[in-house]
A = this chain, B = another copy of it.
Amino acid sequence: MSLSAELNSRTRFLRACRGESVDRVPVWIMRQAGRYLSAYRAIREKHAMMTVLNTPELAVQVTLLPVDTFDLDAAIIFADLLPPLIGMGLSVEFVPGKGPVIHNPLRTNKAIDRLSVPPAEETMAPTLEAIRLVRPELNSREMPLIGFAGAPFTLASYAIEGGATRDFAHTKTLMYHEPAAWNRLMLKLVGVVVDLLKSQVGAGADCVQVFDSWAGALGRYDYQRFVQPYSRMVFEQMGNAVPVIHFSTGTSAYLDLIAAAGGHVIGVDWRMDLDAAQDIVQRPVMGNLDPGTLLGPWRELRPHVDDVLTHMHGRGGHVFNLGHGILPNTPVDNVRRMVDYVHSGDWAHGRS
Separation in Å of the A175 CB from the closest CB of chain B? 8
Q: Are B219 and A271 in contact (CB under 8 A)?
A: yes
Q: Are B297 and A271 in contact (CB under 8 A)?
A: no
Residue from A179, A292, A307, A327 whose CB has the most chain B CB atoms within 10 Å: A292
**In the assembled complex, A18 has its CB within 8 A of some CB on chain B:** no
Residues from chain B with a CB closer than 8 A to the CB of A254 are 271
Chain B binder among A37-45, A88-96, A166-174, A259-267: A166-174
CB-contacts of A284-333 with B (<8 A): 288, 290-293, 295-297, 300-301, 303-304, 307, 323, 327, 329
Separation in Å of the A39 CB from the closest CB of chain B? 22
Q: Known: A177-B297, A250-B271. Contact between A219 and B290, CB under 8 A?
A: yes
Which residue on chain B has the smallest CB distance to residue A300? B176
Complex CA gap A254/B271 in Å reads 8
Q: Known: A176-B293, A273-B220. Contact between A169 and B307, CB under 8 A?
A: no
**In the assembled complex, A222 has its CB within 8 A of some CB on chain B:** yes
Q: Are B297 and A218 in contact (CB under 8 A)?
A: no
Q: Are B290 and A173 in contact (CB under 8 A)?
A: no
Which residue on chain B has the smallest CB distance to residue A172? B292
Complex CA gap A177/B250 in Å reads 26
Q: Are A295 and B252 in contact (CB under 8 A)?
A: no
**In the assembled complex, A272 has its CB within 8 A of some CB on chain B:** yes
Residues from chain B with a CB closer than 8 A to the CB of A252 are 252-253, 271
Separation in Å of the A31 CB from the closest CB of chain B? 12
Residues from chain B with a CB closer than 8 A to the CB of A293 are 172, 176
Residues from chain B with a CB closer than 8 A to the CB of A270 are 219
Residues from chain B with a CB closer than 8 A to the CB of A216 are 250, 271
CB-contacts of A82-121 with B (<8 A): none
Which residue on chain B has the smallest CB distance to residue A254? B271
Main secondary structure of the interface of A (DSSP, over half): helix
Q: Known: A272-B253, A296-B176. Contact between A218 and B290, CB under 8 A?
A: yes
Complex CA gap A272/B273 in Å reads 17
Q: Are A172 and B295 in contact (CB under 8 A)?
A: yes
Residues from chain B with a CB closer than 8 A to the CB of A304 are 221
Q: Known: A253-B252, A271-B253. Contact between A169 and B300, CB under 8 A?
A: no
Q: Kindly identify which residue among B172, B175, B296 contacts A172, using a CB–CB cutoff of 8 Å.
A: B296
Residues from chain B with a CB closer than 8 A to the CB of A288 are 219
Residues from chain B with a CB closer than 8 A to the CB of A220 are 271-273
Report 27 cross-chain contacts, Cβ distance below 8 Å, ordered by A residue.
Answer: A167-B292, A172-B292, A172-B295, A173-B292, A173-B295, A175-B296, A176-B300, A177-B296, A177-B297, A177-B300, A216-B250, A216-B271, A219-B271, A219-B272, A219-B288, A220-B271, A220-B273, A221-B303, A221-B304, A221-B307, A251-B271, A252-B252, A252-B253, A252-B271, A253-B272, A253-B273, A254-B271
Extra A-B contacts (9), CB below 8 Å, given A219-B290, A252-B252, A253-B253: A168-B292, A173-B292, A176-B292, A177-B296, A218-B290, A221-B304, A222-B290, A251-B271, A253-B276
